[in-house]
């Protein structure tokens, strides 16, 4: 009788253990945060999720949260740094508070074209360097992509720099946008993306510094119609993962994450370039206008902006060191 009871207890215990997930088979959840939607950042996330699944199957469950579903940009940046969010994709300008070295990608006039951006940030040796550049801040770069040129949206036409004087414009939270705008008489107002349309509608701001794909994805043409193509800098976006979370994963998952990120970069690039063209067409189709500065004004503006940007990144020795390294590659890859 005692033997029978012991056997039944053993069977029951085995049955209970069978239904409990083991640490080895537990599924990893990876939240992918993003402030935007239906743009190249969102596309990278989808491509990454597919590429990762191809490598690890159901070992990792990716959950994509576009359009600031996990909070405003500062909260998402804070989340990936602290580890409450595993992954966050953003223009580099929005994470300069985490590490000022992100400023180097925002210097006006640094890149000539989307092709130039792609050639530089995906140079094999530099791409490896970029991945680990911010480990001291607890974040790893698993994705780096060309985003779009910088334009300014205004409620009134601004075909010249004089028309921009006095305009209160949302900027990214980076001195590489704030200081150049001050130089042409624009009042910079750093805002998270979730705050922009309400402020534009209420009159809190008169304009928005952004990339065209964001303006069309969020239907800004319903609020303002005039875009001036300043194009003083090409926006670079990076996908960050929390390093402590990354290191807690088995080696096969770590390598799969890295490989999936690199694969998604290459796939997202042509999609992103084409999306900028489609966004311009969509803007015009919705009765929006795209204005160009007079060539002489544009040249004068760029000369001033380059000087301002270079001065900013040279103030911090660590930032300057990284900028010198990047600039050497930029010059080497510059189209002849």
Report the CATH number that the domain containing residue 86 is assigned in CATH: 3.40.190.170
- Count Cβ atoms below 10 Å from residue 326 Cβ, excluding itself: 21
Q: Residues 177-195: what's their mean pLDDT? A: 96
What is d(CA 321, CA 334) in angstroms, rounded to the nearest whole number?
Answer: 20
Tell me how far apart the terminal alpha carbons of the chain are, to the nearest angstrom.
90
pLDDT band of residue 173 (cuts 50, 70, 90) is confident
Phi, psi of 275 (to 5 degrees): -65, -35
What is d(CA 145, CA 156) in angstroms, rounded to the nearest whole number?
Answer: 32
Looking at the fold, whether 249 and 264 belong to one and the same domain comes out as yes
Nearest to 170 by CA among 277, 93, 76: 93
Number of domains in the chain: 2
- Domain presence at residue 9: no
Looking at the fold, whether 315 and 198 belong to one and the same domain comes out as yes
Looking at the fold, whether 40 and 107 belong to one and the same domain comes out as yes
pLDDT of 10: 38
At 223, is the secondary structure helix, strand, or coil?
coil
* Domain of residue 155, residue span: 151-233+287-333
* pTM for the whole structure: 0.91
pLDDT tens-digit series, residues 114-149: 999 999 999 999 999 999 999 999 999 999 999 999
- Domain presence at residue 21: no
Looking at the fold, whether 220 and 295 belong to one and the same domain comes out as yes
For 157-170, b/e burial (b = at least 16 CB within 10 A) is: ebeebebbeebebb
Q: Could you tell me which residues are beta bridge partners of residue 267?
A: none
- Domain presence at residue 139: yes
pLDDT of 25: 56
- Whether 26 and 81 have beta carbons less than 8 Å apart is answered as no
Percent of the chain with pLDDT over 90: 91
Looking at the fold, whether 139 and 173 belong to one and the same domain comes out as no
Looking at the fold, whether 210 and 320 belong to one and the same domain comes out as yes
- Domain presence at residue 257: yes
Q: Could you tell me which residues are beta bridge partners of residue 61?
A: 29
pLDDT tens-digit series, residues 197-216: 999 999 999 999 999 999 99
- Domain presence at residue 20: no
Phi, psi of 282 (to 5 degrees): -65, -35
Looking at the fold, whether 76 and 204 belong to one and the same domain comes out as no
Helix (H) or strand (E) holding 303: helix 295-313
Looking at the fold, whether 80 and 219 belong to one and the same domain comes out as no
Looking at the fold, whether 88 and 184 belong to one and the same domain comes out as no
Looking at the fold, whether 101 and 209 belong to one and the same domain comes out as no
- Domain presence at residue 2: no
Looking at the fold, whether 135 and 256 belong to one and the same domain comes out as yes
At 1, is the secondary structure helix, strand, or coil?
coil
Looking at the fold, whether 41 and 166 belong to one and the same domain comes out as no
Phi, psi of 22 (to 5 degrees): -85, 160
């Amino acid at each position: 009788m005692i033997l029978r009871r012991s056997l039944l207890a053993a069977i029951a215990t085995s049955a209970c253990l069978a239904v409990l997930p083991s640490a080895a088979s537990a599924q990893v959840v990876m939240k992918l945060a993003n402030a935007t939607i239906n743009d190249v950042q969102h596309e990278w996330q989808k491509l990454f999720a597919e590429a990762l699944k191809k490598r690890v199957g159901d070992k990792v469950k990716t959950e994509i949260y576009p359009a600031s579903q996990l909070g405003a940009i500062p909260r998402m940046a804070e989340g990936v740094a602290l580890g409450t969010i595993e992954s966050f994709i953003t223009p580099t300008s929005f994470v300069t508070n985490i590490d000022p070295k992100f400023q180097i990608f925002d210097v006006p006039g640094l890149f000539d074209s989307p092709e130039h951006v792609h050639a530089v940030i995906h140079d094999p040796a530099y791409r490896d360097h970029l991945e680990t550049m911010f480990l001291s801040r607890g974040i790893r770069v698993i994705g780096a992509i060309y985003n779009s040129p910088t334009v300014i949206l205004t409620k009134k036409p601004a075909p010249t720099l004089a028309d921009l004087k006095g305009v209160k414009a949302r900027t990214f939270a980076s001195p590489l946008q704030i200081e150049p705008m001050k130089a042409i008489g624009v009042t910079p107002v750093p805002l998270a993306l979730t705050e922009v349309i309400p402020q534009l509608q209420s009159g809190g701001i008169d304009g928005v510094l952004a990339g065209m794909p964001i303006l069309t994805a969020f239907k800004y043409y319903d609020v303002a119609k005039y875009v001036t193509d300043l194009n003083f800098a090409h926006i670079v976006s990076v996908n960050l993962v929390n390093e402590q979370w990354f290191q807690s994963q088995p080696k096969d998952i770590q390598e799969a994450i890295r490989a999936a990120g690199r694969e998604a970069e290459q796939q997202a690039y042509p999609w992103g370039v084409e999306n900028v063209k489609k966004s311009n067409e969509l803007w015009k189709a919705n009765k929006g206008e795209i204005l160009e500065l007079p060539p002489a004004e544009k040249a004068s503006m760029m000369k001033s902006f380059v000087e301002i940007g270079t001065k900013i990144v040279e103030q911090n020795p660590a930032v300057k060191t990284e900028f010198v390294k990047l600039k050497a590659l930029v010059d080497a890859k510059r189209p002849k």
